[in-house]
Amino acid sequence: MKQIPLFFLGLLSTTLIFTACDDSSDDPGPSGPIEAQTATNIPADANAVSGDPSQAPPPNFTLFSLETGEIVNDTDSASNLWDIGLAGTTIIINGGTSGPGEAQAQVINGIFDEVTEAPETGYQADSETGLAIPAGSGNGWYNYTGEGNPPQAIIPIPGRIIVLKTAQGNYAKMEILSYYEGNPDTSSSEFVSFQTRPAGRHYTFNYVVQPNGSRNF
């Protein structure tokens, strides 16, 4: 019997190993948790319209893309390049009456890191009868303190998580951390005083987007 040279045996072994590795590349396997991103000091249009902002065109809002982590120019308001719009304490989403995208949302109770799967149902788009992310103190993501302590402040409600479908249909979650520039300590004496309180209408929030279309975070 004619022996096969060692060179060809080595080449065959390398080819088999490469083929095995190449076949496995088609299966990405289980993926770990997606790293959360933080958006800092996103302005909520100081010139926001009075009355019901949900009835105003998106250019009155600061438009933000959760997919890219960037503010979107007003000239792209009629596109699916943005996911949320911020004007004062009001948050619109790019869907329904607020935009041409596929965005829908709901507010749930939970711990941000422990929300590892988006709900299957319960989402709404913005409509003429109301916003998917409810406006008003205690209704959605914040409380207004009135004459409490600190006075006349917008404070995010702990455990309120916004889960949404982006304008492109991907699932995302977000937790608003602060409504004030620099994410200040709202229990500090500097914040209590109106003379030293940082400017409002500057959002800081954590968010996660699942780009593969699944509901898993």
Q: Does the global pTM surpass 0.75?
A: yes
Q: Are strands 62-65 and 84-87 parallel, antiparallel or unpaired?
A: antiparallel
Q: Which two tokens stand for residue 162?
A: 């916004």
Q: Looking at residue 32, what is its pLDDT?
A: 61
Q: Looking at residue 73, what is its pLDDT?
A: 93
Judge whether 134 and 140 are in contact, CB under 8 Å. yes
**String of b and e for 138-169 (b: at least 16 CB within 10 Å)?**
eebbbbeeeeeebeebbbbeeebbbbbbbbbe
Nearest to 126 by CA among 66, 71, 81, 167: 167
**CA-to-CA distance for 123 and 119, rounded, in angstroms?**
8
Judge whether 123 and 135 are in contact, CB under 8 Å. no
Q: Which two tokens stand for residue 208?
A: 């996660």
Sheet with 200-210, side-by-side order of all strands: 37-43, 200-210, 171-180, 160-165, 104-109
Q: Looking at residue 60, what is its pLDDT?
A: 81
**CA-to-CA distance for 89 and 71, rounded, in angstroms?**
17
Q: Looking at residue 130, what is its pLDDT?
A: 95
The tens place of each residue's pLDDT in the chain, 217 residues long, gives: 444 444 334 444 444 333 444 444 343 434 567 899 999 999 997 554 444 555 555 558 999 999 999 999 989 999 999 999 999 999 999 999 999 999 999 999 999 999 999 999 999 999 999 999 999 999 999 999 999 999 999 999 999 999 999 999 999 999 999 999 999 999 999 999 999 999 999 999 999 999 999 999 9
CA distances from 101 to 33, 122, 126 (A): 26, 18, 11
**CA-to-CA distance for 177 and 184, rounded, in angstroms?**
10
Nearest to 84 by CA among 71, 75, 93, 73: 93
Judged by DSSP in three states, 187 sits in coil
Q: Looking at residue 95, what is its pLDDT?
A: 97
Q: Looking at residue 25, what is its pLDDT?
A: 38
Structure confidence by residue, pLDDT tens digits, 33-86: 789 999 999 999 755 444 455 555 555 899 999 999 999 998 999 999 999 999
**CA-to-CA distance for 115 and 90, rounded, in angstroms?**
23
Q: Looking at residue 175, what is its pLDDT?
A: 98
